[in-house]
């Protein structure tokens, strides 16, 4: 198991450029992918899944280019359990200082019946064959059991055992359809690690989709069950409701180190920049109330909260905005704002009013905020100038 100092290390595997790009409408150009990969590498992401090389010549080229330029991240490419996929992927990632082939096959009864039309034993043979082929090309091979969370545990154990025996160094057990709950997901990892011979030879990985809004909670639960790699995307971009959001995972580990005592190489001050870049290149806006990187994540409007924030930021903030690359908390002036925040805003704008003028300006500000959705600094300036000229202050 990887450790830093006295802490277990959790590896961050970013799949924005592969699973994230699979969101309808999110495809990126080569130039855009290179920009994202460079930032992920700079921010300390351990493994970057750069694409699916067999999918198109463009995908192959972007994985190869990212592999060539990588500085410290491992560069992974995805491959189905097909020789041609694995060979093409090996060809793309071999340019990296440290490359990885990530190959997968479905294991659940519903996928075996409708998608693959194969028996359990046939799939076991495919795992042995394809993982062996990948290992003949490269030392770092990840194997994923697609739809692991809907696979009976006995069979899942047999598939994991086969993959480790054939040389897989990372075993990923995805919640492909976002069906698991945190308790189930944690128990699945704990059971597999206890039951599969040689389980300690591989690093276990979580990969969670957000169909029930549980992707981040499930990822952290999987780590509690013994996984030490988390697959996630910037802004939670990904198929359907998306993947677990990298920024939420990194900040949960950092903010609640009492509960999640793990080392993590990602430098949080890059999170806001990464979110903006991925939003721009994927054309997916970030919801205002998105945890960590949403426009309102460090904004306060209510009088009670603003008053608390002006006295001590820890009253209503559990993270410091500058830690994630946001300049400062914003106290948004609106109809819920109180006198304390209003006075503070006037000071920031360069006004100091006497008690009566302040009282009247505050009353007029509240009337304005009732009529207007957004009250800007210019609105407040105009109102105060008017108040000064009528009151003669």
Residues of each annotated binding site: 19, 207, 209, 243
Q: Which pair of tokens denotes residue 255?
A: 């903010």
- For position 147 contacting Zn ion by CB under 5 A, the verdict is no
Residue with tokens 């290390």: 9
- The reply to whether 21 sits near ligand KIV by the rule CB under 6 A is no
Q: Which of 11, 12, 14, 19 binds ligand KIV (CB under 6 A)?
A: 19
**Exactly one of 176, 218, 275, 282 binds ligand KIV (CB under 6 A); which one?**
176
**Distances from the Cα of 391 to the Cα of 322, 356, 388, angstroms:** 40, 9, 5
Of the residues 13, 60, 104, 262, which one makes contact with ligand KIV according to CB under 6 A: 104
Q: In angstroms, rounded to a whole number, what is the distance separating the alpha carbons of residues 39 and 283?
A: 18
* Buried-exposed string 75-114: b where 16+ CB fall within 10 A, e elsewhere: bbbbbbbeeebbbbbbebbebbebbbbbbbbbbbeebbee
Nearer to Zn ion, 19 or 248 (CB): 19
Asked if 247 interacts with Zn ion (CB under 5 A), we say: no
The radius of gyration computed from the CA coordinates of the chain, to the nearest angstrom, equals 25
- What is the CA 362 to chain-centroid distance, rounded? 42
Residues in binding site for Mn(2+): 19, 207, 209, 243
CB atoms within 10 A of CB 312: 9
- Closer to ligand KIV by CB, 111 or 300: give it: 111
46 interacts with Zn ion by CB under 5 A: no
Handedness of CA 160, 161, 163, 167 (dihedral sign): positive
Which one of 17-25, 28-36, 113-121, 144-152 is the stretch in contact with Zn ion (CB under 5 A)? 17-25
Distance separating alpha carbons of residues 167 and 203, to the nearest angstrom: 12
CB of 241 vs ligand KIV, minimal distance in Å = 12
What is the spatial distance between Cα 373 and Cα 333, in angstroms, rounded to a whole number? 10
41 vs 147, beta carbon nearer ligand KIV: 147
Using CB under 5 A, which of 13, 16, 19, 85 touches Zn ion? 19
Interface region with ligand KIV, contact rule CB under 6 A, candidates 91-99, 152-160, 170-178, 364-372 = 170-178
Beta bridge partners of 48: 14, 75
Q: Which does 146 bind (CB under 5 to 8 A by kind): ligand KIV, Zn ion, none?
A: ligand KIV
Q: Does 144 bind ligand KIV (CB under 6 A)?
A: yes
Q: Is 207 in the site for ligand KIV (CB under 6 A)?
A: yes
- Of the candidate residues 146, 250, 271, 286, the single one contacting ligand KIV (CB under 6 A): 146
Q: Does 49 bind ligand KIV (CB under 6 A)?
A: no
Report the alpha-carbon distance of residue 289 to residue 93 in Å, rounded: 37
Give dist(CA 21, CA 385) in Å, integer: 51
For the bound state, the minimum distance from the C-beta of residue 323 to ligand KIV, rounded and expressed in Å, comes to 30
Write out the residues near ligand KIV by the rule CB under 6 A: 19, 104, 144, 146, 172, 174, 176, 207, 209
């Amino acid at each position: 198991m990887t450790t830093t100092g006295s802490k277990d290390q959790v590896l961050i595997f970013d799949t924005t450029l592969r699973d994230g790009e699979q969101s309808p409408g999110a495809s990126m150009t080569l130039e855009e992918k290179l920009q994202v990969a460079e930032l992920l590498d700079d921010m300390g992401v351990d493994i970057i899944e750069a694409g699916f090389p067999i999918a198109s010549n463009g995908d192959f080229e972007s994985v190869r280019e990212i592999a060539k330029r990588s500085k410290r991240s491992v560069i992974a490419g995805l491959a189905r359990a097909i020789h041609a996929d694995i060979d093409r992927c090996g060809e793309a990632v071999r340019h990296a200082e440290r490359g990885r082939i990530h190959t997968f096959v479905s294991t659940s009864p519903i996928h075996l019946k409708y998608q693959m039309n194969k028996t359990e034993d046939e799939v076991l043979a495919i795992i042995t064959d394809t993982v062996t082929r990948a290992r003949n090309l490269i030392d770092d091979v990840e194997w994923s059991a697609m739809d692991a969370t809907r696979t009976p545990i006995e069979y899942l154990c047999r598939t994991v055992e086969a993959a480790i025996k054939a040389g897989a160094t990372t075993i990923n057990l995805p919640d492909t359809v976002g069906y698991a709950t945190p308790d189930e997901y944690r128990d699945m990892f704990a059971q597999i690690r206890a039951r599969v011979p040689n389980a300690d030879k591989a690093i276990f990985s979580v990969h969670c989709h957000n169909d029930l809004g549980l992707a981040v909670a499930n990822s952290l639960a999987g780590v509690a069950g013994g996984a030490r790699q988390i697959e996630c995307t910037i802004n939670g971009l990904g198929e359907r409701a998306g993947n677990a959001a990298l920024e939420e995972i990194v900040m949960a580990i950092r903010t609640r180190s009492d509960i999640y005592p793990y080392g993590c190489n990602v430098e949080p001050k890059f999170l806001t920049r990464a979110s903006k870049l991925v939003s721009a290149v994927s054309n997916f806006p970030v919801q205002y109330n998105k945890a960590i990187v949403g426009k309102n994540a460090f904004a306060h409007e209510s009088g009670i909260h603003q008053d608390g924030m002006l006295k001590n930021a820890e009253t209503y903030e559990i993270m410091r905005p500058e830690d994630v690359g946001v300049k400062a908390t914003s106290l948004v002036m609106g109809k819920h704002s109180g006198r304390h925040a209003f006075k503070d805003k006037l000071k920031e704008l360069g006004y100091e009013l006497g008690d009566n003028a302040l009282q009247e300006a505050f009353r007029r500000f509240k009337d304005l905020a009732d009529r207007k959705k957004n009250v800007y600094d210019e609105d407040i300036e105009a109102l105060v100038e008017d108040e000064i000229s009528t009151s003669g202050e």
